Structure 1
Amino acid sequence: MADTQRTSERINFVHQDEIWKAHVKVEKDSAEVWPRKWGFLTEAYKEFERDSVKLKEVKVTPSHHLATRPLTPPEKYTNVGPSPPVPQTTQALIGWRSAHSRLQLEQHGQVHHGRRSFLKVLGWPRDACS
């Protein structure tokens, strides 16, 4: 492509022919060496084809342990009690459900996180981070 655009330079046909011969020789030598170096790939490919044909013939039927269970109705594991009456004022509306012990989110007890200082754990002075 680039050679056709450069019309001002002379083309050395003998040199171009030598380059082409070198390319053809390399291709021919590579074709002779390939079966010794990479011939095992053809056998692996044939084996893969045989295995894939066998896998296509096998029909998969779902067994009992792969079947899905019927859905559990939500009423069985969720019990919703009646809500307390709605407060009369908007100020009382904030947190009105959490005031009742049966409506609190922490049904399994409060979460207690220790109050530790990261600096104290590392043994650094308090003014190390500002």
Structure 2
Amino acid sequence: MTSGDAPMSTEPEWIGKGKVRARLLDDGTLEAKCNGITTQAKYYKPLFKEFFRKDFNRVRPGYGDYEVHIVMEFTGDPPIMDLDNLAKALLDSLTGAAFHDDSQVARLLVERREGERERIIVRCRALNQFDAPGLT
């Protein structure tokens, strides 16, 4: 590499072409995002479930305990949405993709914050790295 070359990125590429995109980080963290938000939390379950079934089927569910971090970013006034309903819809959509059952979630953080754009971000990782979802 010469001094004028840009360093190569080691970040995994996002997979997906529609509203939902995901990637699997080197530490086993599954990261997914959905551009745009709606106050209807039930909208997200089929959207993410279908994405994991059709577009991001390279992960298999793992065993053991997991932690999940969900962030709803908004612009302007915060939307009126029960974050517990959002969490339930997203955990249901991760079932069969990241873990076998949402009872495996031992740590859950759900937050709403102002951001540059309206979107939902989900990060899921095994608390024991050896139980992380694997690539197929």
Which of the five TM-score ranges fits, normalised by the shorter chain?
Answer: under 0.3
Higher relative contact order (CA 8 A, sep 6+): 2
Q: Which has the higher strand share?
A: 2
TM-score if structure 2 supplies the norm length? 0.20
Q: Which has the higher helix share?
A: 1
Q: Which has the larger radius of gyration?
A: 1
TM-score if structure 1 supplies the norm length? 0.20
